[in-house]
Chains A and B, each alone.
Chain A
């Protein structure tokens, strides 16, 4: 039988048992909608997890730690841990795919940053000046060239100094207009070209205040906002940091013996991350990257999607038995017609195709309904979640910026759901259709 004729015949056959087809399809609607809603929830969760990940850093960055540094946090050490020094960094530099390598040496001593009358807490990190331009720092203004006595500052260091950090946590003014609320807070100064003062306090062993040292630092660059901790960081030349550290400790720092606490390895593309990370780990270091976290998150959510989708699929399996039942009943009712089809020269394959197509169509119809219902439900969930979160935010006085969606429907999901529902329909029609095809034409014609 030609495909179009088959479709026309199936449409006519379904039309004459409308009520029963509708009832049966509703089961498929429920199952498909469940699959769409549950997978869209998992997908939405994955999206917001991945979005938050952008604060970790670019996908081409690998953070490297010495296991020695991590030992207090429970990392296993064998006593003979390799040191993260210039020699090992050179080794990383020679790995294929690596673009730049720099230590990230924090100045882990009590410091205060001052600009005129403003002061604030700040994180100071020393990096290798020669590598700065290759590290791909997102420079908003100024240059990516770092010399001694110079710094590149994170996007929110200025806000930090001005005390306007966490605006959302500050109580709103009573007559809360946006422009008014801005006026009550000091606007952050433009740091580019300014000279900052970095104060370091050294305490004696008795805990009394000892010497104090102030360093003048010229701001040569301001970074773009990344959403991560780099926003609050002041980047300084590595030698400056080692010098200040040595002064604070009262003895020169020897990174080639003690190692750096952390390093940053930049690779040419996210594809290189896994291999380079594996190589670094093989050399006895601990490596961490947004790319590999992303990979783990993705595989976790893939499993979650599978589990949730599987729960939805249970409803669809129940519906499949409904389809099989409907088809069996319709075959009993149309036994004589099947006999007639055979007498008129229909092959067993023709008969089988008719009933498989009818079952598949019930699945497809239910699938279409299920996708529509699922899309609407996902939309309602998002509206509900957004309303709830906005109400929560309003109550706590926080400014809600960009509340993400709870449910997200990827493009493949409706297509997959339709194919799956139709496939379930065809599968559940398999047994009834086989029975119909195997009917003896004379017995079928005589069936009352």
Chain B
């Protein structure tokens, strides 16, 4: 970890996550210690089953560790109750998934507005922000289209706009280019790099070296452990 004067955004200590698999136990994470500073663009690499997605879920408050701690801005996620964890996901985290997970019956605009429903943003402000974000990802003219009427790259850009809806400090992207061809994948990565340049912390999970090249720092994982860092 390079020396830096930037404040620490999140830190994990002895992070473990076990999954029971029949009669055995799979150690998806086996003692992960990681520090991420504010404004970083961190890549997490590793073969499938190395635990990188599990790490991302734990950092995003979607799952709880078997042991260890996660501090985000000094607050320990592992002691939060369900509602506090939901509030953490709502306010501080924006997820981007490989399969986009847009709601098929909603338009692009409605999909971007969706997280703001749970944050109780008033309708007028919600619409305004969703329009702004769609413009930001270059899809303002596609706002009334449903996901099936959009290309894969466009869908992922809508998903990115949605991730930004509640203005999170942390963007967690799980193989965001996995379902895209290399050209649209590069566009999505370019967008993530721009978000990072605006000051947001981005953590990207991928096994694609070309995508990892966009990050400023990356760690390699194997069998639930961090095995290297560049």
Interface residues of A (CB under 8 A from B): 1-2, 4-5, 9, 12-13, 16, 336-337, 339-350, 440-442, 445
Contacts and interface: CB of A to CB of B under 8 A. Distances in A.
Contacts of A343: 60, 62, 89, 95, 101
Contact of A347 (B57, B83, B97, B106): B83
Given A350-B118, A441-B62, A345 B105 contact: no
A9 B91 CA distance: 21
B86 A346 contact: yes
B90 interface: yes
Of the candidates B57, B62, B120, the one having the most CB atoms from chain A within 10 angstroms of its own CB is B62
A337 B106 CA distance: 12
B118 A345 contact: yes
Nearest to B53: A442
Contacts, number: 65
Interface string B34-63: 000000000000000000000001001011
Interface in B110-143: 114-115, 117-120, 123
Nearest to A2: B120
Interface of B: 57, 60, 62-63, 82-83, 86-87, 89-91, 93, 95, 97, 101, 103, 105-106, 114-115, 117-120, 123, 162, 166
A345 B80 CA distance: 14
Given A2-B120, A442-B63, A344 B105 contact: no
B62 A342 contact: yes
B120 A1 contact: yes
Contact of B82 (A1, A9, A344, A348): A348
Contacts of B114: 344
5 contacts: A1-B120, A5-B117, A343-B89, A343-B101, A344-B115
Nearest to A347: B86
A341 B118 contact: yes
Given A344-B114, A345-B90, A345-B91, 8 more contacts: A2-B117, A2-B120, A336-B101, A340-B103, A344-B95, A345-B89, A345-B118, A345-B119
A442 B89 CA distance: 13
Contacts of B86: 342, 345-348
A1 B117 contact: yes
Nearest to B92: A345
B63 A337 contact: no
Contacts of B63: 440-442
B48 to A, nearest CB: 13
B82 A347 contact: yes
B111 to A, nearest CB: 10
